[in-house]
Structure 1
């Protein structure tokens, strides 16, 4: 390899390395700042004062650069001081009176909080990118009998596009030719593919499973349902929480009040109480240090981190303290059905065979035929047969797949048809087994019928069954006075059956993603704090707009990224456990805040009456910080 090529390779590797660490720059700066504080303390301990001050100065600059830059820029833009500026002044004030460690620790704590905030923002951008990747970039346009691939963005209303088996549909439209089964999980979240044919609507981002279809575009690429999902996620994430808005309103007043009192402390005692300038400056600097919100910050962050660590040990991944805090005031919780309350895949619940037929033989042959299909219902039948029978499946003599209907096959002299009711005859299917089909359908089952040599011979019922732990989880939440709701894209009949099995208080069926968002908004109008639990792409907007979004660990990447809390083991009872943890955390935070404010007020009063010297002020200030941290660490215990 030439020297130029090596140089270029090294440059590319360098740029790649910088790009990788860039999102973690603030966290790295905070860590370096912490190490420098330890180094400064050690130098000071061994009377190496110059090196100690240099280490502390570097800790100030490296740890405080990002927050200082942010504070100065916001002050300039908003023409109002903020907490970032107060922390900078407090740290500088500590250094002026010779207490470098105090100032450096203040900078370190603030640097860590800034790093966590940046990390959350980066996650937000990542989840939108994940959504965007699911919509095809190109479409196969049919014009004057000629096929041509064009960018999806260039599609116009009225264009006709060809979508082949296995491809994602690039735009919302209407089928004008062909029949197929479509996986609409990206839109409705439902595991059961939907059979669609002429003049039926299809959505961008869904998957064409079986037959080729020609689709007439009905919406511009920017107006598709899938694009609306992306817009809803972006809109919901840009909304600020009530606590965040309160802090933003409060911080300007707090900073002005503290700085005003510090300035007054510098002048008024000198003229009214005959203090010397040195004494006034000394007392003003002590005030700036003891009035800094170091203890208040320590009241919340260690408690939050301890609670989050506790949750992680029990399979509850919380992405930020505010989300765990909100759980304590939870009044209502909405659940997606498929993959959340249910297992998310169809299972055979019942096999009914005509009298005189061998049940095992029929199931064996039916599974042998269905084994040649990738349809989820077919695979569920195959799985069930393999569990029930200890026999190798055979190969049909002939087989024909009819997208949207079912399958035809021949085994010896037998001619088989397996599929939906209309495929074998609607009237015969409804009358089969004394009308058992209607009863099973009312319980949320999907029915597959088997016809042999023209005679309806069997009916197989399949259902996305409710998780074993679902009832326990719902009952635990209801005991805490939390209202439970199920939101699903499934039919009214299926939704009603699953809701009854799950013990939820209320359900809404046939919900598209935007309708789930509307239901969440309605719940938020009725209840103070509302959570949403889901696992699919279609749940992302609702997860984002809820006060607390909770995703199942086996869910889609987008749901995991959008949610505030992730149940790593899909264990729904962990939600009630998370609520209890939140209540413990908020109780300890309240204790810490009351204690730290009381200490700050006592130190300020003692300083004003000249009863407090700087060493005791530092001991009181740092001592209160240590005590609230120790109190917070109690949350690490189960």
Structure 2
């Protein structure tokens, strides 16, 4: 970009690169700082407004208040019938209070990790000056916070890009490490479907750009990231809401059961005081999963963020765990990326030099890596483009024509593209097809390459062999998905023979050859009509409808603003294979929630057998006290202490997640029941007995 020719006039002094540099501070929150913040937030969550958001823990919170009153004045709820009632009530109060604190701490710790990431992002959102281009072409420096959608700004090397936008003029390198963590600069240029989008807060490190702003103040990409990673916009997912309702219903059932116990106790002459009733209720309701449920959901979002992926909601993360079908582009996802010209195959009696010359002419305006590789290969064979470029006109590739090329002086048309498209082009110019073209086409296709035919007007000169390489390890990853019941569909613009070779090598379940952008949304709707959940990746504006239609749409950070807005996840690294990792994270979230729910319900069985027999001692139910607990008070305290302590013990598992294994739904269910169901029954029996022995030895009861 010629600075002298294109730079607008400035009312003020000429801007010098480097005058205003962003002083970014990498926020490094230590583990100690994270725990201090979580402890502070734990006590903040004790307020009634916060506590009532979790029905189960709110019941424990109310129980703590009631037992505290009973501790201060034991006769308030009736005559005192047991010794040391004040000490017992106090111990129960402390244990219930710790149960609430541990549940709050689990949620606060999960939220704290998101807030730490938000602080690091917030430090990149430093206000800068923006050089706004006004109507007459002059530049006015204004605060970046006053920019709005549609404004045009000018940035040069050393500037901070003031807001999200699209490059409308120029080519430059941009440092995006502030949001991606990747130090290598990214090339941004106008007219590119996937390299014209820029993000506010990133730095331009070479050349200069003119950018059209696409977001209003406070609504940029980094602003949305901050809100999302710190949980400001987190809403409960459908599964989470369903489980919350189930837990609330079970809690009401147990509440009804416990409130009817005094009548039975009176009938068998074994009165129960209010403290024991509350302790019994807390021990029986699913406090473990109730205390960890929010932490599991928040941690799922955090695990996605650790993969450098921003999810617009927990709903998207959870949906990825239920995905049945993955729709993947071949290029850049299954294969290594840019196809490169490997060889020319001349036909119809033409020489290698002739096809090289025509291929060069057809590619001279093609700035894609593929087009540039054709130019380089042609130049190796001595091809030259001696025509003044101003006298030629580039013809861009389109999904409809499936070819590109150059209109040359004298009415000559050089074209390259899909073999079928070039055949149609030649026929329209009254040219003839030859069997040699089909032979060359099949030869390239059977090698897994992509054949492009080359023609000049109505004469076909040969075929270009574009080489495509399947990514290492991709076959094994598709095998894992298959074992999880996830079906993979590859979309490619290649012909069926080439697509079949790549599909077989990669191990996908289905492929669609010669696909157009419209085919993506067609496939998604077809799968959804069969009751399946679909995920896909995309980066271009033409991918936006399909990304919006998919249950999980992942847009590349290098993609257009339209793609990012349509998707419900954005990959900051722009790696399409992350879609496979996202499915794994989503399944891990569901597995973790299911495992801890199973463990929590199984715990209740043991606590039930620990408490009920000993509180009905007057009814001669001592024979059911097979755990040989010392007394009713020690049994209640032991069960409550275990109930409180198991929450912090499970916090690491809730935050890290159950180790993911590529198993089917039935296999996962069997594994959960075996490990977390059986383990959830056995663990409390052992722990409660040990706690009973300890508190009896200490003399607390």
State the TM-score bracket (shorter-chain normalisation). Answer: 0.5 to 0.7
The corresponding residue for 1:230 is: none
For residue 86 of structure 1, the aligned residue among 41, 59, 64 is 59
Q: CA offsets per residue over residues 110-168 of structure 1, 9 Å max, x none?
A: 46548968999999xx9xxxxxxxxxxxxx9xxxxxxxxxx99xxxxxxxxxxx9999x
Matches within 5 A, 1:98-177: 98=90, 99-100=93-94, 102-107=96-101, 109-110=103-104, 113=107
- In structure 2, which of residues 429, 434, 438 is the aligned counterpart of residue 431 of structure 1? 434
Counterpart for residue 367 of structure 2 = 374
What is the distance in 1 between the residues matched to 2:364 and 2:452?
Answer: 18
State the distance in 2 between where 1:269 and 1:373 align: 86
In 1, the alpha carbon distance for the partners of 2:265 and 2:364 equals 93
In the alignment, structure 1 residue 598 sits paired with structure 2 residue 605: yes
Residues 66-465 of structure 1: pairs in structure 2 closer than 5 A? 68-69=48-49, 82-83=55-56, 85-90=58-63, 92=65, 97-98=89-90, 99-100=93-94, 102-107=96-101, 109-110=103-104, 113=107, 243-261=239-257, 263-264=259-260, 268=263, 272=267, 280-291=273-284, 293-297=286-290, 331-348=324-341, 350-353=343-346, 359=352, 363=356, 367=360, 370=363, 373-375=366-368, 377-382=370-375, 384=377, 389=380, 396=386, 398-400=388-390, 401-404=392-395, 406-407=405-406, 417=414, 419=416, 421=422, 422=425, 428=431, 430-431=433-434, 433-436=436-439, 439=442, 445=450, 447=452, 449=454, 451=456, 457-462=461-466
Match of 1:474 in 2: 478
Is contact 1:87–1:106 with CA below 8 Å preserved after alignment?
yes
Please name the residue that 2:695 is paired with: none
Q: Find the aligned partners of 2:68 and 2:579 in 1 and give their Cα distance.
A: 51
Q: TM-score, normalised by structure 2?
A: 0.49
Rounded to whole Å, the distance in 1 between the matches of 2:284 and 2:34 is 23
1:190 aligned partner: none
Q: Is the 8 A contact 1:552 1:569 kept in 2?
A: yes
User: For residues 312-349 of structure 1, what are the alpha-carbon distances to aligned partners after superposition, in whole Å with 9 as ceiling and x for unaligned?
Assistant: 99x69796998787777665433344533344534325
| Residue 619 of structure 1: aligned partner | 641
Name which of 19, 23, 46 aligns with 1:64.
Answer: 46
Q: Give secondary structure in 2 for the equivalent of 1:334.
A: strand
C-alpha separation between the residues in 2 aligned to 1:476 and 1:60?
Answer: 40
The structural deviation recorded for 1:505 is 3.2
- How far apart, in 2, do the equivalents of 1:631 and 1:602 lie? 27
Q: How does 1:563-578 map to 2 (within 5 A)?
A: 570=577
Give the whole-Å Cα distance in 1 for the aligned partners of 2:415 and 2:549: 43
Q: Matches of 2:549 and 2:389 in 1, distance apart? A: 48
Q: CA deviation at 1:560?
A: 7.5
Alpha carbons 2:475, 2:506 under 8 Å: kept: yes
2:389 is paired with a residue whose SS is strand
Distance in 2 of aligned mates of 1:581 and 1:496? 32
Closer, same or farther: CA 249–426 of 1 in aligned 2, 3 Å: farther
State the alpha-carbon separation in 1 of the partners of residues 546 and 471 from structure 2: 22
TM-score when scaled to structure 1?
A: 0.53
Q: CA deviation at 1:283?
A: 0.9
Q: CA deviation at 1:616?
A: 1.8
Q: Which secondary structure state, in structure 1, belongs to the residue aligned with residue 406 of structure 2?
A: strand
Q: Please tell me whether the aligned partners of residues 94 and 289 of structure 1 are also in contact (alpha carbons under 8 angstroms).
A: no
Structure 1 residues 182-228: Cα deviation after superposition (integer angstroms, max 9, x where no partner) = 97779xxxxxxxxxxxxxxxxxxxxxxxxxxxxxxxxxxxxxxxxxx
SS class of match (1:345): coil
Distance of 2:236 and 2:522 partners within structure 1 = 18
Given that residues 87 and 292 in structure 1 are in contact (C-alpha distance below 8 angstroms), is that contact kept between their aligned partners in structure 2?
A: no
Evaluate the alpha carbon distance shift between residue 494 and residue 33 of structure 1 in structure 2; reply closer, same or farther with a 3 A threshold: same
Shift of 1:286: 1.6
Taking structure 1 as reference, are residues 582 and 551 closer, same or farther at Cα in structure 2, changes over 3 Å only? farther
Relative distance call for 1:281 and 1:588 in structure 2 (3 A) is closer
Q: Distance in 1 between matches of 2:645 and 2:192?
A: 60
- Residue number among 510, 524, 527 corresponding to 1:506 in the alignment: 510
Contact 1:90/1:288 (<8 A) preserved: no
| Rounded Cα–Cα distance in structure 2 between residues aligned with 1:332 and 1:376 | 30
Structure 1 residues 505 and 570, CA gap change in structure 2 (3 angstroms): closer
Can you give the 5+ residue segments of structure 1 that lack an aligned partner in the other structure?
1-16, 37-58, 75-80, 127-139, 141-150, 153-163, 168-180, 187-236
* Native 8 Å contact 1:336 1:486 kept in 2: yes
| Deviation of the 1:562 alpha carbon | 2.1
Over aligned residues, Cα RMSD in angstroms? 6.4
Deviations 1:383-432 (A, max 9, x none): 5568xx4x99977352244243623679xxxx994556448985557438
The answer as to whether partners of 2:297 and 2:589 remain within 8 angstroms in 1 is: no
User: Would you tell me which structure has more helix in proportion to its own residues?
Assistant: 1
Cα deviation digits, residues 61-89 of structure 1 (max 9, x gap): 51234xx43675x8xxxxxx944633542
Counterpart of 1:523 in structure 2 is 527
- Cα distance between partner residues in 2 of 1:478 and 1:500: 14
Deviations 1:455-507 (A, max 9, x none): 7644424477654544443344345554333356x588599656566543334
